[in-house]
Structure 1
Amino acid sequence: MLFDLTAEQLDIRNKYSSIGKEIADAKRAEPEGFDFDGWNLLRDEGIWRLIVPADANGASDWWSFTAALEGLSSSIRTPELLLSVIAQAGMVRGLVRHGSPSQKAHYLEAILRGDVSATGIAEPTTGTDVRSISTSLTETADGYLLNGSKFNIAHAPIMDFALLVCRLNDRESSNIALVLLDRDTPGLTSGRVDDKLGNRNLPTGELHFRDVHVPHSSVLGVPGRGLSTLIDIISLGRLYYGLVAANLITPYLDDAMRYAATRDSFKSTIDSHQYVQKRLVDMRIGLARSRWVAYGALSQLLNGHAEALMTCSIAKLVGAEDLIASATSLVKLYGSLGYHNGSVAELMKNALGFASVGGTEEMHRKNIFNQMQRLAA
């Protein structure tokens, strides 16, 4: 397990911390919507070349990418672009580990040039219960026909290509398949765009499929084994949600420390009051706890550790809980100012999204318990 970043990785973290601040400063003057300028800046600075394999003009270095993500999340202040980067990183992992040579050549090159991917899992009646999905693949003489719908998909309104979770119609078990489709595929249409409480610069929405022709070459991995492939892909996202949740609070904590040192109350600055100190200390504890659990989960995942899937869920769960608790505490610390529309209130709204992004608390606790049973057996 990595207990500290190398000098080179520290340089990467510092570089992307500066980039995050640049993106944050620029976005304040922009209208609501996906930050294509920030996305393209990250592309131009080489963030995808850190994890795309060397034979596809990249480096395949997940710890350096983690350093970049950590630096970015410590200064960018809002999570939307971070969630987009995490989703794209999961797509890279899926292609590298499970893609065919032609899929890697086509889609990794697309990622390097800045194309935006989407992953469609949830359906209105099933949520993320993959075994209960109804979006179906029916085999034909020259491939499959895809029918159904997905909802709550990050990037659905703007995506260039998508990975879709489907059920093979002719199988009772081992019937999950993953399909890669380009946006202009006939029969694929976008639906309603979601109107969310927070994270409003991350566009989410629906995708619909009506008799979409899917060649065999568009299936990622082995048909029927899509569930295990999907878990391998999304486990990376789970731990990264925990990591960015930990680091998002960093600039707000710095601001709060300065505010507490200058805000007078009852003839002293409020940082002399123990209850204020506790709020600030608890934020720092949450930051450290979430960060190190995420590091441990990444180490386990990259090394195929038996507890990796469980620790990835723990990282996501702990990160979300700590971020929501810290954001709530900041609102209380600033009093009426914290409740006014502004950066602290926006953080509160965005933080609440982590309760469901990447899976709900209930889902992750169920997964952790299932993994505990598996390990015990």
Structure 2
Amino acid sequence: MFHDWTPEQLTLRERFAAVGELLAKARDQQPEGFDYAGWNRLRDEQLWHLVVPRDYGGHGEDWWGFTAALDGLSSTLRTPELLLSVIAQAGMVRAMVRHGSPLQKERYLAAILRGKVSATGIAEPSTGTDVRSIETTLSEAPDGYRLNGSKYNIAHAPIMDFILVVSRLERRESSNIALVLLDRDTPGLVIGAQDDKLGNRNLPTGELRFEDVHIDASQILGQAGRGLGHLIDIISLGRLYYGLVAANLPLPFVDEAMHYAAQRTSFKSTIDSHQYIQKRLVDMKIGMERSRWAAYGALGRLLNAHPEALLACSVAKLVGASDLIDNATSLVKLYGSIGYHNGGIATLLKDAMGFASVGGTEEMHRKNIFNQMQRLAGSASSSQG
């Protein structure tokens, strides 16, 4: 069980917190769009080397070291887009390490170390993230397979170098999910327009279409038909990391709010002497700590294959998203009309609202938690019987 960072992990956390401060300042001077400079800086800082195995060019450290780096980065970066990109890429590393063939690992882990951008296509306009109901189809052909269908709301779709696509094997009623790896220049892969979103505008998302795309058997990640289990294993890491990032994003804003409350006067006293202001600030701190420790606990359970790991990952995402939205809203209220003006706090609120759907909606995660509760109750009944 996680208690605190080791000296080595603490050094990583502090180093990437400093990187986050530099990237936050540089971001203010850049036009809207994907932060390639920040992305390449993280590559140069060897963020991905932490979790890529030594046999494939990395340092082969565990996920706790990477988490320490992400913890530091997310505590100072102020905006979530680059962090969401990091989370997406971390899922791809986990996918390759745990389910990739030797050739897939050699090719795509090397690409990740070079800073290439990955994507994962799950959701469809008619089904959302209900994987069992997807319509993107993989059909057998004499020379392999053919992929047809579409995906939408895909992080990195407009800029990705390669993508993992969730598909359904044709004419199979069960064990019918397959994960397919595609490069950007694959014939028949059509990249749609970039989405126009309320917030998180520096995270490009969009639609992809697959028009009779030839798929070789070597492009299937893991075993065809067992893709659902592979996918859940991959995205569970992202779910808890959403919770961790959600816990840390408000940190610099809350520190500034403490200073503001100590200077701002109302009714002949500084507003931090008013109990309702104290409560607002305390509730923000409680929310951040609750979300952070839920994420730490979920990571420990995921890495140890605990029976409640999937439940814990959904809880971490759900709690983190809720607390982030509440905290961003409280910051706007604390500053009054100043908070409502365009600026860092208003941007935080717009970006925070994206966490209501990124990584799965509240309804989807509550459904998953309930399913896990039923599964655990059934396992307990079977063991007692």
What range is the shorter-chain TM-score in? over 0.9
- Residue 49 (structure 1) aligns with: 49
Give the distance between the partners of 1:130 and 1:181, measured in 2 at CA.
Answer: 19
Give the distance between the partners of 1:335 and 1:162, measured in 2 at CA.
Answer: 43
- Residue 15 (structure 1) aligns with: 15
**Equivalent residue of 1:115, what SS?**
coil
1:54, CA displacement in angstroms? 1.4
1:141, CA displacement in angstroms? 1.6
1:269-292 deviation line (CA, Å, top 9, x unaligned): 000000000111011111111111
1:60, CA displacement in angstroms? 3.5
- Residue 381 (structure 2) aligns with: none
1:1-377 superposed matches below 5 A: 1-58=1-58, 59-377=60-378
Give the distance between the partners of 1:300 and 1:54, measured in 2 at CA.
Answer: 25
Give the AA of the match of 1:275.
Y
Give the AA of the match of 1:221.
G
Give the distance between the partners of 1:185 and 1:315, measured in 2 at CA.
Answer: 36
Give the AA of the match of 2:46.
G
In the alignment, structure 1 segments of 5+ residues that lack a partner are: none
1:142, CA displacement in angstroms? 1.8
1:192, CA displacement in angstroms? 2.0
Give the distance between the partners of 1:144 and 1:3, measured in 2 at CA.
Answer: 48
1:233-262 deviation line (CA, Å, top 9, x unaligned): 000000000000000010000010000000
Give the distance between the partners of 1:2 and 1:46, measured in 2 at CA.
Answer: 24
TM-score by length of 1: 0.99
Give the distance between the partners of 1:296 and 1:308, measured in 2 at CA.
Answer: 9
1:374, CA displacement in angstroms? 0.3
1:168-204 deviation line (CA, Å, top 9, x unaligned): 0121111110000000000001012100000000000
Give the distance between the partners of 2:74 and 2:307, measured in 1 at CA.
Answer: 29
Give the distance between the partners of 1:372 and 1:196, measured in 2 at CA.
Answer: 35
1:363, CA displacement in angstroms? 0.3
1:2, CA displacement in angstroms? 1.6
Give the AA of the match of 1:315.
A
Give the distance between the partners of 1:233 and 1:266, measured in 2 at CA.
Answer: 54
1:19-70 deviation line (CA, Å, top 9, x unaligned): 0010000000110000000000000001000111111121232001000000
Give the AA of the match of 2:311.
M
Give the distance between the partners of 1:141 and 1:217, measured in 2 at CA.
Answer: 15
**Equivalent residue of 2:320, what SS?**
helix
Give the AA of the match of 2:47.
I
Give the distance between the partners of 2:144 and 2:70, measured in 1 at CA.
Answer: 39
Give the AA of the match of 1:80.
E
TM-score by length of 2: 0.97
**Equivalent residue of 2:145, what SS?**
strand
Give the distance between the partners of 1:163 and 1:280, measured in 2 at CA.
Answer: 42
Give the AA of the match of 1:53.
P
**Equivalent residue of 1:367, what SS?**
helix
1:92-128 deviation line (CA, Å, top 9, x unaligned): 0011000000000000000000000000000000000
Give the distance between the partners of 1:166 and 1:192, measured in 2 at CA.
Answer: 22
Give the AA of the match of 1:37.
A
In the alignment, structure 2 segments of 5+ residues that lack a partner are: 379-385
Give the distance between the partners of 1:50 and 1:2, measured in 2 at CA.
Answer: 19
Give the distance between the partners of 2:138 and 2:57, measured in 1 at CA.
Answer: 34
Give the distance between the partners of 2:61 and 2:95, measured in 1 at CA.
Answer: 13
**Equivalent residue of 1:297, what SS?**
helix
**Equivalent residue of 2:208, what SS?**
strand
**Equivalent residue of 2:224, what SS?**
strand
Give the distance between the partners of 2:200 and 2:92, measured in 1 at CA.
Answer: 21
Give the AA of the match of 1:28.
D
Give the distance between the partners of 1:72 and 1:29, measured in 2 at CA.
Answer: 19
Give the distance between the partners of 1:134 and 1:230, measured in 2 at CA.
Answer: 16
Give the distance between the partners of 1:241 and 1:54, measured in 2 at CA.
Answer: 27
**Equivalent residue of 1:300, what SS?**
helix
Give the AA of the match of 2:27.
K
